[in-house]
Chain A
């Protein structure tokens, strides 16, 4: 018992080191006064990479584009995913299988394929590439994530509640708004969050569809090609810190809610 506990702790330490050490090294490099993103050799503390980053107009444009695309993706894919989940949940047989496969297929398709397909399809319709195509391309697979989450939540929905509401005189629209959607909100929220982050980190689809616009991932990629500097590390550190703060805020709120009972 004691021994296995010790082994378990050792495993946890090694596992966390494996997960976090690269992040620490990468974050540390953001403060190293060296032209290359590395902590060795240590050339002394500096904030200049953060200042460089702050003054990089192209980075700010890319950042703005990324957020705009992510918001648009969430706004489109969550309603599509939710509607698809409700539809798929209420039918059976071959139609259900076909619809489900159609929705899930983009998750299994390589991002580059989605990107190229999106570009070719809209090109044929004489729609030029740009961030709007990035949004459409990303929606095609991010909507599937939203659908899967909502579909799982629907499994725990008691159809009796729907019948009870109808029996009390509610229309189907009222049942949807007052009974079904409130039950689905946690899954819809989770779908929106996952969709948002999926969109931010997307590179493959965006690369092919972006036209001349930059997003953060594309910007980082172009930096790698044109000579990488620790500004990228500074950017990464800011993103990690932001994510951690969000996670902590969420956890604090969750505990507060749990305490209230």
Chain B
């Protein structure tokens, strides 16, 4: 039984600090929805409001269409997976998983059977009688998921549950979580500051900054059609050039920067005279030995990073503007050397003019 979650203009204030600012989003039953944003953007506050640990200052939270005002955590059809997992250290694994059933008065034999069934679901069939301290990080993760699933929640809330794991395990658990979600059809609301996680797992992503929801869209749209400068710069790498719109050219606009005049797509809400920037993804910034007919800028290579499956080239133009270009390591591209004089060329349809602040990069928990 899965239920949708509706945030109806929800605001949360702590004193004069507005942690969540008028957030409105309708999460569908059975959806895998991620809130993505830097630390302090209000995403954890949203999770705590949905789970009932705090009550919103303004606005309504509906779960399965029902107003949750005043309902406490133990009265909501939600289960929260905590960042530190919060497994009960004094209980064996199976009692942890069956705790939600125990407090509902389910008899011991049924609890044990249910715990073993869930352990099979999360691929830990022999762990029932182990102690929590005997489990590895990934196994604890699975136990936490099983414990939350045991109460058959309509909505699962996950607060950066993978952040404590190492890279390999994290990637593996992403796929696992996704598979469990598809199997159980429970609505997942996932909180993360890791764009890779959000894009790879989610049906839809909500990008947050300073308590405001910046964009809600499917992962491809978040990456390809960001709503503003924050979303573009927080999700993925960019070449960012400040400048101004100087004319219209069919579907594109002409954009004048210190490094030259380029054509680019106009992003949402962009009007002439507004403070805007041009955003160009590194994979669309091609290196060429000759200046192109369209958008082109002469650069000197400052650094070449060989990443295995792709090659990342850092370059700088005559004005000091830095560029990143990425090419797939498929044999078709020549690896330049530091100091090479080349041109960055790009198609105007792949560059976009956006408003808004850009995010401080590498903001981590």
Binding site for B on A (CB under 8 A): 158, 160-161, 163-171, 174, 178-179, 182-183
Q: How many whole Å from B87's CB to the nearest CB in chain A?
A: 8
Nearest residue (CB) in B for A163 is: B53
> Using Cβ atoms and an 8 Å threshold, which residues of chain B touch A182?
90
Nearest residue (CB) in A for B76 is: A167
Q: Pick the most buried of A158, A166, A179: most chain B CB atoms within 10 A of its CB.
A: A166
* Chain B interfacial residues counted at CB < 8 A: 23
A167 and B99 in contact, given A158-B86, A179-B88, A183-B90 (Cβ under 8 angstroms): no
B99 adjacent to A160 (CB under 8 Å): no
B147 adjacent to A168 (CB under 8 Å): yes
A169 and B82 in contact, given A163-B73, A183-B90 (Cβ under 8 angstroms): no
Nearest residue (CB) in B for A165 is: B99
B82 adjacent to A168 (CB under 8 Å): no
Residue B79 interfacial (CB < 8 Å): yes
- From residue 110 to 160 of chain B, which have CB atoms closer than 8 A to chain A? 147-148, 150-151
> Using Cβ atoms and an 8 Å threshold, which residues of chain A touch B182?
none
Q: Which 7 pairs across A and B sit closest by C-beta, in order of nearness?
A: A164-B86, A168-B100, A160-B86, A170-B103, A167-B73, A169-B74, A166-B73
Select one of B51, B99, B148 contacting A178, CB under 8 A. B99
CA distance A27 to B186 in the complex (A): 73
B151 adjacent to A160 (CB under 8 Å): no
CA distance A161 to B99 in the complex (A): 12
> Using Cβ atoms and an 8 Å threshold, which residues of chain A touch B72?
166
Residue B80 interfacial (CB < 8 Å): yes
Q: How many whole Å from A90's CB to the nearest CB in chain B?
A: 15
Nearest residue (CB) in A for B80 is: A167
CA distance A167 to B148 in the complex (A): 9
Binding site for A on B (CB under 8 A): 51, 53, 72-74, 78-80, 82, 84, 86-88, 90, 99-100, 102-104, 147-148, 150-151
CA distance A77 to B78 in the complex (A): 40
B86 adjacent to A163 (CB under 8 Å): yes
A167 adjacent to B51 (CB under 8 Å): yes
B82 adjacent to A170 (CB under 8 Å): no
A160 adjacent to B82 (CB under 8 Å): yes
Q: How many whole Å from B35's CB to the nearest CB in chain A?
A: 18
CA distance A171 to B147 in the complex (A): 17
CA distance A178 to B90 in the complex (A): 9
> Using Cβ atoms and an 8 Å threshold, which residues of chain A touch B147?
168
B90 adjacent to A168 (CB under 8 Å): no
> Using Cβ atoms and an 8 Å threshold, which residues of chain A touch B73?
163, 166-167
A171 adjacent to B78 (CB under 8 Å): no
> Using Cβ atoms and an 8 Å threshold, which residues of chain B touch A165?
88, 99, 103
A174 adjacent to B90 (CB under 8 Å): no
Q: Is the interface of A mostly helix, strand, loop or mixed?
A: helix
Nearest residue (CB) in A for B78 is: A167
Q: How many whole Å from A132's CB to the nearest CB in chain B?
A: 37
A171 adjacent to B82 (CB under 8 Å): no
> Using Cβ atoms and an 8 Å threshold, which residues of chain B touch A179?
88
Q: How many whole Å from A226's CB to the nearest CB in chain B?
A: 53
A161 adjacent to B88 (CB under 8 Å): yes
A170 and B86 in contact, given A163-B73, A164-B80 (Cβ under 8 angstroms): no
Q: How many whole Å from A180's CB to the nearest CB in chain B?
A: 11
A171 adjacent to B74 (CB under 8 Å): yes
Task: List 5 additional contacts besides A163-B80, A167-B78; criterion CB under 8 Å.
Answer: A164-B87, A167-B53, A168-B99, A168-B150, A178-B103
Q: How many whole Å from A189's CB to the nearest CB in chain B?
A: 14
> Using Cβ atoms and an 8 Å threshold, which residues of chain B touch A171?
74, 103
CA distance A165 to B151 in the complex (A): 12
Nearest residue (CB) in A for B72 is: A166
Q: How many whole Å from A257's CB to the nearest CB in chain B?
A: 14
B151 adjacent to A169 (CB under 8 Å): yes
> Using Cβ atoms and an 8 Å threshold, which residues of chain A touch B100?
168-170
Q: How many whole Å from B93's CB to the nearest CB in chain A?
A: 15
A168 and B103 in contact, given A158-B86, A161-B88 (Cβ under 8 angstroms): yes
Select one of A158, A160, A167, A178 contacting B74, CB under 8 A. A167
Listed by A's residue number, 18 A-B pairs whose Cβ atoms lie within 8 Å are A163-B53, A163-B73, A163-B86, A164-B80, A164-B82, A164-B87, A165-B103, A166-B72, A166-B73, A167-B53, A167-B73, A167-B80, A168-B150, A169-B104, A170-B74, A171-B103, A178-B102, A179-B88
CA distance A174 to B151 in the complex (A): 16
> Using Cβ atoms and an 8 Å threshold, which residues of chain B touch A166?
72-74
Nearest residue (CB) in A for B102 is: A178
> Using Cβ atoms and an 8 Å threshold, which residues of chain A touch B103?
165, 168-171, 174, 178
CA distance A168 to B88 in the complex (A): 12
Q: How many whole Å from B82's CB to the nearest CB in chain A?
A: 5
A170 and B99 in contact, given A161-B88, A179-B88 (Cβ under 8 angstroms): yes
CA distance A182 to B58 in the complex (A): 39
Q: How many whole Å from B47's CB to the nearest CB in chain A?
A: 11
> Using Cβ atoms and an 8 Å threshold, which residues of chain B touch A178?
88, 99, 102-103
CA distance A183 to B89 in the complex (A): 9
> Using Cβ atoms and an 8 Å threshold, which residues of chain A touch B148?
168
CA distance A133 to B90 in the complex (A): 39
CA distance A165 to B90 in the complex (A): 13
Nearest residue (CB) in A for B100 is: A168
> Using Cβ atoms and an 8 Å threshold, which residues of chain A touch B90?
182-183
> Using Cβ atoms and an 8 Å threshold, which residues of chain B touch A174?
103
B84 adjacent to A167 (CB under 8 Å): no
